[in-house]
Structure 1
């Protein structure tokens, strides 16, 4: 009996857990980067919404949407499709009628809908707070390339790999495996990302770029040669090639989140 239990535990330890874009560290980094570029008015509006939260910061709520699976299973199930969009099979071109026909069940339309709720000051505070949490998380999600990748392998979840001697999948490698392999804590990683220049100061644009373009840009990474490793065992050569790409996606995610929040919340209440 004991031997059977031990064997079962060993098997379970080899099964990758459910993937969530960027993992906890990545989502917190996107939120931290966004905070750098928020206007004073936007910061004040966010502070008002987050008052009373256990950790009343953008980073503190960045993983809330993934935690719904445990904390609010019903809401987690109803919003599960809001985390991704599968467009790689269609040349990485987003078409709402094809990829999100009901206008809500994909990350592109979820960002649009929740941003509109967040910006609507006639909505109750609790509804706008929930929208803020969704926006922070989903803009992180859409910049994880596999959240805009292929549907046939569930965004890399079905692509099994071995990394650092452990069974995993490609999605998990991009979520957290490559980032954790850098051996940096949140503060050190944030310093590293802040040093990465952006081609365009997106966070200071009057309006954020349309989120379909963010999904399409993420998908374009998925279809690059070499993104899918040729062998099951993934080594440091893959990490050295692709981790800088993942880090730049985090950097862009932070800038796009800041631009979105500034547009939605940056105007003073009259």
Structure 2
């Protein structure tokens, strides 16, 4: 009897652990998988030296998984996943606010990690760690709520219901809206990655600052149309699924552009 109870407890613990890690996983893997489709031959050869035959999608969620580390070794990286910007209505003011930020953030770390990977003096291990973070953070940069507002922690304090389930605005865009589509990450890649070469080139054009402003503009639209304690279902999916899929695609194509440039 004790053995049966022990197994039930163990099974419950494992299930709970899997549940904790199930949210947000698909989106990051879609971004990484799309990027893989657009790597140059040279970039692929360099990546093989860094991570062997492993795919980018394999490491796409590692920077979130290490948040469960109890040693505190990675605690300082928590603030790398976002940059808080008050609502800005033009690129000039946004860029000024972005560059005036103090301390490490999503913007500074994408630039720093890119430089570390590109630098031939970086050790093999440090280059691999930098790559794992870069894959993830570029995905974060295309998620609008990661370029959200400090007052509500990027939507984390905006409580709402999605199909009757309690959640918040950040989680809705991190995972709930993506998971509602019921696609695996590879299925989503196949469905979204259908742009022509000319369209891909246009999406990949611009600077990191411009890409973040793009996400910031999307965040402003989302804030304006999502109410605290609102209750949403098919209506929200109808209104925002296209934008969510656009952001996944843009994140993947822009990650490929960064990797092709630095490798």
Asked if TM exceeds 0.5, the reply is: yes
Give the whole-Å Cα distance in 2 for the aligned partners of 1:125 and 1:158.
40
Give the whole-Å Cα distance in 2 for the aligned partners of 1:204 and 1:98.
23
8 Å CA contact 2:85–2:98 kept in 1: the answer is no
How many angstroms does 1:74 deviate by? 2.1
Q: List gaps (5 residues or longer) in structure 2.
A: 1-15
Q: For 1:189-204, what aligned pairs fall within 5 Å after superposition?
A: 189-195=188-194, 200-202=199-201
Q: List gaps (5 residues or longer) in structure 1.
A: 1-12, 266-270
Which position in structure 1 is the counterpart of 2:131? 132
C-alpha offsets along residues 9-38 of structure 1, whole Å, 9 cap, x if unaligned? xxxx9xx979x9x81100000000001110
Give the whole-Å Cα distance in 1 for the aligned partners of 2:48 and 2:217.
36
How many residue pairs are counted as aligned between the two chains? 242
Give the whole-Å Cα distance in 2 for the aligned partners of 1:127 and 1:226.
38
Counterparts in 2 of 1:195 and 1:211: CA distance versus 1, 3 Å = same
Structure 1 segments, 4+ long, off by >3 Å, are: 88-92, 96-99, 196-200, 202-205, 225-228
Counterparts in 2 of 1:188 and 1:119: CA distance versus 1, 3 Å = same
Which position in structure 1 is the counterpart of 2:61? 63
What's the Cα RMSD here? 2.7
Which position in structure 2 is the counterpart of 1:166? 165
TM-score, normalisation: structure 1: 0.81
How many angstroms does 1:228 deviate by? 3.7
Most deviating of 224-233 and 113-122: 224-233
Which position in structure 1 is the counterpart of 2:7? none
8 Å CA contact 1:86–1:151 kept in 2: the answer is yes
Q: For 1:228-267, what aligned pairs fall within 5 Å after superposition?
A: 228-230=225-227, 232-265=230-263
Does the residue aligned with 2:74 lie in a helix, a strand or coil?
A: helix
Q: Of Structure 1 and Structure 2, which has the larger fraction of its residues in helix?
A: 2
How many angstroms does 1:71 deviate by? 3.5
Q: For 1:151-190, what aligned pairs fall within 5 Å after superposition?
A: 151-190=150-189
2:206 pairs with 1:209: yes
How many angstroms does 1:72 deviate by? 6.3
TM-score, normalisation: structure 2: 0.83
C-alpha offsets along residues 182-218 of structure 1, whole Å, 9 cap, x if unaligned? 111222211111135687423996xx63212121110
2:186 pairs with 1:224: no
Most deviating of 252-261 and 64-73: 64-73
How many angstroms does 1:90 deviate by? 4.3
Counterparts in 2 of 1:198 and 1:27: CA distance versus 1, 3 Å = farther
Give the whole-Å Cα distance in 2 for the aligned partners of 1:150 and 1:17.
25
8 Å CA contact 2:203–2:250 kept in 1: the answer is no
8 Å CA contact 2:154–2:170 kept in 1: the answer is yes
Does the residue aligned with 1:95 lie in a helix, a strand or coil?
A: helix
C-alpha offsets along residues 95-140 of structure 1, whole Å, 9 cap, x if unaligned? 36765224xx110110000000001122110011111111101100
C-alpha offsets along residues 209-250 of structure 1, whole Å, 9 cap, x if unaligned? 321212111010111277542352112111111111011011
